[in-house]
């Protein structure tokens, strides 16, 4: 199933933060521990540059922008802070060669009626490979842990479902394909950085 980037539940975008560049023009606050405001602003500048390129007419050569792992993490942390996320508390990613990625995701579902096997505050670790095809992307998930215990994808999808219900948004599956926004055609990761082609 193909999902449009505009339909991504904002507070559960954690799984795809590395590939989805939603354009949010908001006021920037001062530096806070854990991320660099300068790096977050740099990524916001990249987003504007990609947006501008989409307004150009005619055929043009494919361009690219390289974003470091640190810059992406600063951008994500800044968005979590500015948007005052209630469910997504932390998201950090690591980038490796050949589109391999790893995430640490901290979710807080304190207002949910959770099954007894789940705690309100959960830390997930996941890893896999980004697959990009014809302007769409998905994560081929290979490893998934809740705290230090390996779990099935169905457990994480249950958490996604509960979080989506809390926010009144559409749940998604880890196997869904997502439309890359703003004319991004491809993504290639290397150790500590990602190249976005547009």
* pLDDT tens string 27-62: 233 334 468 999 999 999 998 898 888 888 677 788
More confident residue, 67 or 171: 67
Compute the distance between CA of residue 146 and CA of residue 118 in angstroms, rounded to an integer.
Answer: 9
Based on the structure, what is the number of domains in the chain?
1
What confidence tens digit (pLDDT) does each residue in 105-164 have? Answer: 998 888 777 777 778 899 999 999 999 998 899 999 999 999 999 999 988 888 888 878
pLDDT at 65 over 90: yes
Helix axes of 69-82 and 37-55: crossing angle, nearest 10 degrees: 90
Query: Which residue range forms the structural domain that includes residue 153?
Result: 2-197
- What residues contact 164, with CB distance under 8 A and at least 6 apart? 9, 12, 170, 171, 172
- What residues contact 33, with CB distance under 8 A and at least 6 apart? none
Which among 121, 65, 130, 123 is positioned nearest to 92, based on CA atoms? 123
């Amino acid at each position: 199933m193909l999902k449009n980037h505009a339909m991504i539940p904002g507070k559960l975008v954690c799984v795809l933060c590395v590939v989805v560049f939603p354009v949010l023009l908001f006021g920037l606050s001062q530096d806070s521990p854990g991320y660099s405001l300068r790096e977050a602003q740099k990524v916001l500048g990249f987003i504007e540059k990609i947006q501008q390129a989409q307004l150009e007419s005619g055929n043009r050569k494919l361009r690219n922008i390289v974003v470091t792992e640190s810059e992406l993490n600063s951008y994500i942390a800044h968005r979590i802070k500015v948007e005052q996320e209630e469910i997504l508390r932390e998201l950090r990613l690591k980038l490796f060669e050949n589109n391999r990625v790893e995430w640490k995701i901290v979710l807080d579902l304190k207002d949910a009626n959770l099954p007894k096997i789940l705690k309100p505050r959960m830390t997930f670790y996941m890893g896999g490979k980004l697959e990009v095809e014809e302007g769409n992307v998905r994560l081929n998930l290979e490893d998934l842990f809740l705290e230090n215990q390996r779990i099935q994808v169905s457990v994480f999808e249950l958490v996604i479902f509960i979080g989506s219900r809390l926010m009144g948004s559409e749940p998604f599956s880890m196997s869904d394909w997502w439309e890359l926004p703003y004319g991004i055609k491809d993504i290639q990761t290397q150790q500590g950085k990602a190249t976005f082609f547009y």
